[in-house]
Amino acid sequence: MDSRHIQELDKVLAAEEATLLKQLKEFGVENPSVPGDFEPSMPNYEGDTEDDRINEATDLDRNFAMEQQLEKRLKEIREVRHQIAEGKYGSCTNCASPISVERLQAMPSATLCISCAQRA
């Protein structure tokens, strides 16, 4: 993958990172003690009925699951963008072998070559 394609990829990843942050703020609140960490927000229904408590618990579970998925993807994106900035993008983080262009095109956030990924 040449430097022009890597720069284009970085722009796409930067846009996805911004979108993920926006989505994370919909499902959680940023943890002031741990940068980049979010906690699911607690829904607050006005009523005090059993249905309200069930809905709050269900929505909290949903918020937690969404927050976890979004946070995982954000971490992947940031790791790839860090590799790009360091000039190490496209090398396996396990064995340092080049990651095939086909693999990077199919999965730009790949940090392992296909051999290491199959072993993991």
Residues 49 and 97 in one domain: no
Residues 95 and 117 in one domain: yes
Domain range spanning residue 120?
Answer: 90-120
Q: What is the pLDDT of residues 58-76, one digit of tens each?
A: 988 988 999 999 999 999 9
Cα distances (angstroms) measured from residue 20 to each of 14, 23, 68, 70, 96: 10, 5, 11, 6, 29
Residues 55 and 78 in one domain: yes
Residues 67 and 79 in one domain: yes
pLDDT of residue 84: 93
Dist CA 101 CA 74 (whole Å): 22
By CB atoms closer than 10 A (0-12, 13-18, 19+), residue 19 is: middle
Residues 30 and 68 in one domain: yes
Q: What is the pTM of this model?
A: 0.80
**How many domains in the chain?**
2
Residues 98 and 48 in one domain: no
Residues 72 and 102 in one domain: no
Place of tokens 């430097």: 3
pLDDT of residue 36: 78
Residues 105 and 64 in one domain: no
Residues 19 and 67 in one domain: yes
Residues 69 and 12 in one domain: yes
